Structure 1
Amino acid sequence: MAAGIEDVARAAGVSTATVSRALRGLPNVHAATRDRVRSVAEELGYVASPSAASLASGRTRTIGLISPWINRWFFSNVIEGAERALRAQGFDVLLYTFEVDRQAGRPRVDPSVLRRRVDGILVVGLPLEPDEVEVLQRLGHPMVCIGWGGFGMVTVRLDDRQTALTATNHLIGLGHRRIGHITGAPDDVSPWSPPVDRAAGWRQALGEAGIEASPELEVHGHFDTPGGRASMHRLLDQVPDLTAVFAASDEMAMGAILALRDRGLRMPEDVSVMGVDGHDMGEIIGLTTMAQAAGEQGAAGARIVLDMIAGCAPPQEVVYPTRLVVRASTAPPPRGRPSVVRRAG
């Protein structure tokens, strides 16, 4: 018959609650006691049951994960990284997602979906309004934001401004002076939102090079491929002498490439294109990008929220760098390209 938690407690000379805390790595257990409990558990072949631990502690062993999308590259990779890290510690994920409409916007976050069902919360790539942060905090659970930050929240994110500076400077270094930018949605205005920082980095790089970041050079692509395609057409209509574009995501950059093909233009001979992410398809199409470790960010957020549940003080912010990956989609600007480019067909 397999040993139970009572057998471990009796052999180690401690209570069953202490055994539970020691084996789950929770605080307020002396190091010597923790070592003794673990040694006895190993000798007796005792393996803690996550469900039993949940009943004993009153915890759900579930982390709520709020995300507006699950099918976009950044979000799916963050979710996968977080889920793997949580599963390794015996925790499940309760995914809270919703439909985001370009015209109607998104629904408000409903805290009742998570009440009494989770021990902690991860918010992925979703800038929240102050009142939404407040209602989530009222649940009394540790909360970590991944891909955005603000209002004093614990945050895992990129250095978005530096990412855009490096990307735009890459294009400037190739000789480009008419460099467009495809950003997120018009309502992406939060000072902690990645598209805001990336647009600011693009403007800063142009300004430092003595290049005007005129309004017609910036268009909204909504962080998806169809949006990138439509916005690139708009950009080419507004700026016929455009020679390069920096998109705030690889998916929008892929849409921009499709728009160039629609018009019979070549990449990079006519227009250079680069993005942000390190999308799996990027190598296939030769996309220059600012690569990020999205899965690692998800895992880091998961570890931090588990540490907070265990009573550990978290870092206020964890900032990940990006890496310039130069491929075939960027090159020096063309010579003598026609000033007006019309849609094919």
Structure 2
Amino acid sequence: MGVSIDDVAARAQVSTATVSRALRGLPRVSEATRAKVLAVAESMGYVPSPSASGLASGRTRTVGVLVPFVDRWYFGHAIEGIDQVLRDNGYNLLLFSLGGYLHGQKRSFTESMVRKQIDGLLVLSLGLSDEELRQLHHTDIPLMSVGGPVEGCSGVYIDDAAAATMATEHLIGLGHRRIGYLHGGVQDERNFRVPALRTVAFEETMSRAGLELRPEWMVAGDFTVAEGVRGAAKIFELPGELPTAIFCGSDEMALGVIFEAQRRGIRVPEELSVAGIDDHDFSGPAGLTTIAQKPWEHGRAAAAMVLGELAGKKDSVRERFMPFELVVRQSTAPPRTSVGA
């Protein structure tokens, strides 16, 4: 049986976390302790990386990115920003794609990351379980979230509650009183806090304005155009009066609403106003009013923080709210006629 990190820790009389940090060249390890751990590891023949040279540098110069999907707008742009900063600083990006949220399934990415010896980890729009956080903190590498808050680690993201409030207040300010909402699905809300933050903000903003929340006008989607189409159809087929405006938790769902409205001959914005969140690449050409954010800047900021931590800069990893703004385009206007009235 080969020598394990626990064997090295026992011989050096330090914790396994200290051994991990010392071998990776991470901060918060004294030079004396680092030298002792390196000497013990070398004498025992313990080499954590594929090459012996990794023991000398202690770094793989690789940062991992954990993401539930790679084909979504936010994720793609955030990864691009991360990659730019890493490449500019001589680091590689190792992508861990879960292919979805994997409900009820064991996720083995923590073991994979330990085996592949990354120097830091960025988690994109994904909640982590207590056990996953425990394992990741046990490796003692810099850890950050991107795109939304994750319990147990700092992150870079917009204030989603404030963003949803701004979008809802825009519609109310135009005079809309019957407002529908397409929000994240059950799977999204189980795995990540952003959909719930936006939903609560919408409900509270409507309540403060004294407006009725109509459950039948609040439809779950999964942040895709297809779900926007499906959700819009579900609302449009309801009997009686329909909303004069729909706020969507993502631009992709909002674009789906616009497509379905056009298919049914519902005029946007004359009969129906539509607003989203993101400022997707297609939102400008589609004339969609939205809350604009810049995920590539989120990725750049988070990557820079992790590299700062790896360079030993104090307090590099911290919570940071990123800017957002309301961009008013042609998809919203004061209500003129009632859809379905």
Shared fold, TM over 0.5: yes
C-alpha change, 1:338 and 1:214, in structure 2 (3 Å) is closer
Q: Distance in 1 between matches of 2:338 and 2:177?
A: 14
Q: Deviations over 1:257-295 (max 9, x none)?
A: 112123221111111111111111111110101000111
Q: Are 1:134 and 2:129 an aligned pair? A: no
Q: 1:190·1:196 contact (CA, 8 Å) conserved in 2?
A: no
Q: Distance in 2 between matches of 1:209 and 1:247?
A: 19
Aligned to 1:273: 274
Look up the match of 1:313: 315
Alignment partner, residue 256 of structure 2:
255
Give the TM-score of the pair, scaled to structure 2: 0.79
* Counterparts of 1:105 and 1:283, CA distance in 2: 38
Query: 2: CA distance between counterparts of 1:287 and 1:173?
Result: 17
Alignment deviations for residues 224-257 of structure 1 (CA, whole Å, 9 cap, x no partner): 1111111111122347421111111111111111
Which whole-Å CA distance do the structure 2 matches of 1:58 and 1:171 have between them? 54
Report what 1:245 is aligned to.
246
Identity in percent: 38
> Letter of the aligned partner of 2:326 in structure 1?
L
In 2, the alpha carbon distance for the partners of 1:94 and 1:313 equals 24
Name the structure 2 match of 1:153.
153
Moved more, 185-194 or 308-317: 185-194
**What is the deviation of 1:315?**
4.7
CA distance in structure 1 between the partners assigned to 2:309 and 2:128 by the alignment: 21
1:111 maps to amino acid: T
- Unpaired runs of at least 5, structure 1: 1-23, 29-50, 340-345
Aligned counterpart, 1:207: 207
SS of the residue aligned with 1:148?
A: coil
Q: 8 Å contact 1:228–1:255 — kept in the other structure? A: yes
- Distance in 1, matches of 2:161 and 2:319, equals 16
Contact between 1:269 and 1:331, CA under 8 Å: does it hold in 2? yes
Aligned counterparts, 1:84-123, within 5 A? 84-100=84-100, 108-115=107-114, 116-123=116-123
Once residues 104 and 175 of structure 2 are traced to their aligned partners in structure 1, the CA distance between those partners, rounded to angstroms, is: 39
Equivalent position amino acid for 2:229 in 1? R
TM-score by length of 1: 0.78
The verdict on how the C-alpha distance between 1:171 and 1:105 changes in structure 2, with shifts beyond 3 A counting, is farther
Residue identity in the other structure for 2:201? G
Q: Where does 1:148-187 land on structure 2 (aligned, <5 Å)?
A: 148-187=148-187
1:329 matched to which residue of 2?
331
C-alpha spacing 1:101/1:131, structure 2 compared with 1 (3 Å): closer
On the 8 A contact 2:233/2:260 being kept in 1, the answer is: yes
Three-state SS of the structure 2 residue aligned to 1:189 is helix
Q: Would the aligned equivalents of 2:96 and 2:109 in 1 still touch at CA under 8 Å?
A: no
Instruction: Supply the distance in 2 between the matched residues of 1:180 and 1:236 (Cα, whole angstroms).
Output: 11
Shift of 1:337: 4.2
**Are 1:162 and 1:201, in contact at CA under 8 Å, matched by a contact in 2?**
yes
Give the number of equivalent residue pairs. 294
Q: Per-residue CA shift, 1:289-319, capped at 9, x if unaligned?
A: 1000111100011011112222332353101
Q: Is the 8 A contact 2:126 2:191 kept in 1?
A: no
Q: 1:54 to 1:89 in 2, by over 3 A?
A: farther
Is 1:295 the equivalent of 2:296? yes
| Partner residue, 2:230 | 230
Tell me by how many angstroms 1:119 deviates. Answer: 0.3
The DSSP-based 3-state class of the residue aligned with 1:180 is strand
